[in-house]
Amino acid sequence: MLGNLNVLEQEKIDKLMTEMVETENKSKFGTNAILGVSLALCKADAVEKGVYHNLKNIIKEKYGKDATNMGDEGGFAPNILENKEAMELLKNALGKAGYTDKVVTDMDVAASKFSRSGKYDLDFKSPDEPNRYISPNQMADLYKSFIQDYPVLSIKDPFDQDDWEAWQKFTASAGTQVTGENLTVTNPKRIAKVMGEKSCNCLLLKVNQIGSVTKSLQVCKLAQSNGWGVMVSHHSGETEDTFIADLVVGLYTGQIKTGAPCQFEHLAKYNHILRTEVELGSKAKFVSRSFRNPLAK
């Protein structure tokens, strides 16, 4: 009876089922049967609208089923040949999910992995060819084109951890959040140097790197007191423990990096944050673009 309807038409299908019931108490189909179909539609609708699932479908259609296999942190790894291709995939997924202009993105570049003697090899997985290396300035221009053409609001590790001049110039001119992980390794001495040279404006906080909760609190306060953003992060080989979700809330960081929404060690953190929001009730607030400073009035 529902063969020609789309799962996204929840209200229309619910109305149709109700109209097909002959009695007020829904004895023809039974309330449980109608509710079961209605709930199934709602869940299917949610899957259909999700950014992650839309991205998977787009990748599968363009690159084949093998391209949707998940990496270490739950992300997809299709055989992308051009730098902007990944940005286009994500942009299309956001559009299909109905979140254009509602979601912004963070790029995790890890540029130290393809740094070559002061330059960068964007095709580093291919046989080495120095002629294709590009300069830090060319890298910066590429990032700025991403910021202009896509909803990029944050970039992590855009340059090698020792390319101090490139970090400084880009942070001063990009007009976006620039996050340091390899640059700072959550090390208080290195963080102080980065702050002095204004090499980035957001700290990636990994509790496992700094070694204790007390030190984590100290570097977070140091970063926030200097106007930095703070992004609490999991680490590779993560467990289902939800402590960092509590840390995000307790430190008012407004940002968490904990992998794609698919594997339970990642989902556990996201679900814990959602439960915390319910517990906080009216005290919880959506800060939108004030995520770098959630306490701002």
Q: What does the pLDDT profile of the chain (297 residues) look like in tens digits?
A: 455 666 556 667 767 766 766 555 545 556 556 666 766 656 555 545 577 778 888 888 888 887 787 777 778 888 888 889 999 999 999 999 999 999 999 999 999 999 999 999 999 989 999 999 999 999 999 999 999 999 999 999 999 999 999 999 999 999 999 999 999 988 889 999 999 999 999 999 998 888 889 999 999 999 999 999 999 999 877 889 999 999 999 999 999 999 888 888 999 999 999 999 999 998 888 888 888 877 765
pLDDT reported for residue 63: 82
181 is catalytic: no
* pLDDT for residue 260: 86
Q: Residue 82 sits in which domain range?
A: 50-101
What was the pLDDT predicted at 291? 84
Q: Is residue 38 part of a domain?
A: yes
Total domains in the chain come to 2
Q: What's the distance, Cα to Cα, between the start and end of the chain in Å?
A: 53
End-of-domain residue from the set 101, 133, 166? 101
Q: Are 45 and 58 members of one domain?
A: no
Catalytic residue among 56, 206, 257, 269: 206
DSSP for 123-142?
Answer: TTTSSP-GGG-B-HHHHHHH
Do 63 and 76 lie in one domain? The reply is yes
- At which of 101, 120, 144 does a domain end? 101
Query: Is 156 among the domain residues?
Result: no
206 assigned to active site: yes
Q: Do 54 and 10 reside in the same domain of the chain?
A: no
Beta strands at 229-233 and 256-257: parallel, antiparallel or unpaired: parallel
The answer as to whether 251 is a domain residue is: no
Catalytic residue among 56, 73, 96, 269: 73
d(Cα 103, Cα 273) in Å, to the nearest integer? 18
In a domain, 127, yes or no: no
Answer whether residue 151 is part of any domain.
no
Q: Using the 8-state DSSP alphabet, how is residue 150 labeled? A: S
**Structural domain contains residue 165:** no
pLDDT of residue 26: 46
Is 85 inside any structural domain?
Answer: yes
Residues 80, 45 share a domain: no
